[in-house]
Structure formats: structure tokens, C-alpha cells
Amino acid sequence: MKTQVEESFSEYFEKWVCQLEQLQHQLIKLSQEKAVLQNEAELQALVSRVTSLHKEYYTAKWAAAHQDVLAFFCPVWSSPLEKTFSWLTGWKPSMLFKLLRQARLRNVSEQQLRKIEELRLKTRYEEERVEREMERQQVAMADRKMVELARLTTRVRNGGGAVAEVEGMVDMAIKVMLNGLERVMKAADCVRLKALKGVLDLLSPLQCVEFLAANGMVQIKLRQLERKSSNLIDLN
């Protein structure tokens, strides 16, 4: 049974994906038009709409995670295939640079390539920093759990009656744990947003459209593949 946060965010996510798919069609259309080189204003407007949609997603995500952060570490709205590619509640930032190499953007200069490589290295460093923080949280969770269990066992053995005090300590330990996970999630999201903005800042308007078209296609294809698999299972 879904929690209230899982229920509401699942509905939001489906609507968000529909909006992304609508913009995806426009991205593909513009990226394939040769005359588009003369219409940078239209390109920039579409790029702004896509980036605004992503920002709206993270605003909604952070608000919901503040109520139930655990829902985002095992999201019911994501397919098993999407979860396979997940990194700390979302896509891995370094994935953008692999996609850049595969997208075959037009007219990429040597200067752009150098700056993209610098950004890739910086992003990888920030990923590792977040991963270390997640490891620290996992160690802390294990330590707190063992401490609380030891204290609880001692009280039971001694016939202690301070149940409320023990429950209070457990509640506090859980609260600290959840706050730590929320910080890790936000830190990971910030790396994602910084990497995306950094890439777009280095590209021309047309290159941005081409790149976002390729990036959006990956996200949408993952969901479509999962739907096809589900339909085949249903038919069998």
C-alpha cells in the first residue's frame, strides 16, 4: 500500500513525464530543421522551457521528500529498469558526458571540448564527495541502530520501565537518520542540476536543443521499454 507521499508524487511524476514528452517532440522537430540556425530566439525559448520543467521537478521532489525521504530511495513511480540506472534518487550526473559523446552535436569546437572535459572532471569529483557522505550516513545508521538495540536490551534485561524514554531515543535516532538522507539526496540533486546547467552553458542554442533532445529520449525510452515488457508479460 502506497503512503500519502508516494500516492501524490506518483500522480505528479506521471503528469511531469507527459509534459517532458510534449517538449521532447518539439526538441526533436527543431533539432532536425536546417533553417533553425537562423532562429536562436525560438531555440533559447524552448531550452528555457525544458530547464524550467526540470527545476519544477526538483522543487516538488524536495517538498515531498521533506515529508517522506525514504520514498525517494525506493520510488514506487519508477520502473525496475529505471531503478537500475538510478544514483542516489536520480540519474547520475556523469551520464551527461557519455551522452554528449554519443549525441553527435553539430559544430563542436576544440575550446568547447576542453571546457566540457574540465566540467566532467569537476562533476566526477562532486559525485565522489556525495558518495562519501552517503557512506558516512550508512555507517552512522548502523552505529545508531546497534547502540539503540544495546540500550533497549539492557533495559529489558534489568526490568526497566522507562519505555517512553527508550522510544524517545529511538525516535530521535530515526529523525537524525532521515535528515541525513535528505541532505544526501539534495546534495546529489544539486550535482545533477549543476552538471546540466554547466553543459548547457557551454553549448550554442542549437547544440542545447540537440543535446536535450538526446537526453530526453533516454529518459522516455527507459519508461517505454518497461511498458512494453509489462505488456508482454500481461499477454503471456
For the chain, give percent helix, strand, coil, nearest 5. 85, 0, 15
| CA proximity to 221, closest of 10, 17, 14 | 17
Number of domains in the chain: 1
CA–CA separation, 191 and 124 (whole Å):
9
Residues facing 91 on adjacent strands: 86
The helix/strand/coil state of 204 is coil
Cα separation of 9 and 230, whole Å? 22
Global confidence as pTM: 0.87
pLDDT at 235 (0 to 100): 39
pLDDT above 70 coverage of the chain, percent: 81
What is the average pLDDT score of the chain?
86
Considering only CA atoms, which of 87, 81, 66 is closest in space to residue 9? 66
Q: What is the per-residue pLDDT across 189-206, written as a single tens digit (0 to 9) for each?
A: 999 999 999 999 999 999
Within its chain, how far is the Cα of 168 from the centroid?
Answer: 33
pLDDT tens track for 103-159: 889 899 999 999 999 999 999 999 999 999 999 998 887 775 656 655 665 665 566
Specify the residue for cell string 529523525: 175
189 closest CA partner among 58, 56, 6, 47: 58
Which of 81 and 181 is assigned the larger pLDDT?
181
Sign of the torsion angle spanned by Cα atoms 227, 66, 184, 101: positive
Chain CA centroid to CA 145, Å: 28
Q: How far apart are CA 32 and CA 36, in angstroms?
A: 8
Give the residue numbers spanning the domain of 46. Answer: 4-235
Summarize the confidence of residues 2-31 as an average pLDDT.
93
Rounded Cα distance between 83 and 81, Å, is: 5
Contacts of 155-159 spanning 24+ positions with Cβ under 8 A: none
Q: Which pLDDT value is given to residue 87? A: 96
Furthest CA-CA distance within the chain: 81
